[in-house]
Amino acid sequence: MSIFVDSTTKVVVQGISPTSQGLYHALRNRAYGTNVVAGTNPRRGGEVIEGIPVFASVAEAVEATGANASFIAVPPAGAPAAILEAAEAGVPFVVCITEFIPAHDEARVYATLRRNYPGTRLLGPNCPGIISAGKANIGITAGEIALAGGPVGLVSRSGTVFYQAIYELTQKGIGQTTGVGIGGDPVPGTGFVDCLAAFQADPETRAVIMIGEIGGTEEERAAEFIATEMDKPVVCYIAGVTAPPGRKMGHAGAIVSGTSGTAAAKMAALERAGALVAHNPTQAGEMMAEVVAGLPA
C-alpha cells in the first residue's frame, strides 16, 4: 500500500502553459506513471497541451475528469489563491511546491483550510511533494531514485536530504512505500505527526525514516507521538547540528532561538522516545538497513 496517493489518484496541475514549470513537472510525473488527467489556466481553457486537457478552473477540471489531487506550481503571489481554489472545488489532496510564500499568507490559508475545508489536506508549500514508489509521483522528486515494494516510508522537512535518503535506501536494495516531503516553511499544511500516523496505519510500511531540521518544535511533537502511538521502528536524522543559535539556515522555519529548536534537543527527545538517531544521512540509511534485516518475515 501507500499513503495519501497511489496508482488510482487523478491529478490536476494548476497553472499549466506551454512554457510553465507546471507543465515541465507534469510531464515528468506523467512519465513516471502518475495519472495526470487535467491542467488549469484561466486563459487557456479548452486547449490541450502535450495531451493534457486544460480547463479554466479547478472546479471544471474536477467535474470533467474526477480529479482528486492537485499539483500547484505557480508563483508565490498566486499560490495561496490556487490552494483555496482547489479546496473550494472539493479536491481532497493538494500539493504545493511553491517557495517564498509570505508566512502570513501561509498562516491565513492554513487557518482557512482548517475552518472551512477540513476535507482537504495540503502538502507544503515549499516542498518536494510526494512519491509512492512505482505508483504515483506528485512534485519534483526524481522518480528514477525510488525503488518500489516497501517496506520503508519516509517523511522529511528537507528536500535535499529527502532525495539522498531515498537514494541511500535504493542503493541498498530497500524499497519504499511512500516518501513525503513536508517542506521547511513555518506553517506546513501537513506535519510529521500526520505522516507518522498514516505510516503507522499502513500495513505495508513496516519502518519509517524521519528527517527533521533545526527550528520549531515539530520534531519534539513527533517524538511524543512515536513514544505513545507507534510500534514500528523509526530512524531519524536532524539536519543542522552545527548551526549557531539565532541564525536562519536555509528554510524559513529553520531558525533557532536560545535552546529551543536546536538539533541536540530534537535528537535527545527522539532518542528518549525510542527512535534510532543517526548523525548523517548515510548513517540513517545504514541504520535502516539493519532494521529491515531484523524485521520478521
**For residue 36, what is its C-alpha cell?**
495526470
- Closest residue by Cα to residue 126 from 236, 21, 253, 29: 253
What does the alpha-carbon distance between residue 9 and residue 232 come to, in Å, rounded to a whole number? 27
What does the alpha-carbon distance between residue 207 and residue 209 come to, in Å, rounded to a whole number? 7
Asked whether the beta carbons of 39 and 22 are under 8 A apart, the reply is yes
- Closest residue by Cα to residue 174 from 162, 182, 165: 165
β-strand partners of 178? 132
Active site residues: 251
- Closest residue by Cα to residue 263 from 278, 273, 282, 275: 278
What does the alpha-carbon distance between residue 201 and residue 253 come to, in Å, rounded to a whole number? 28
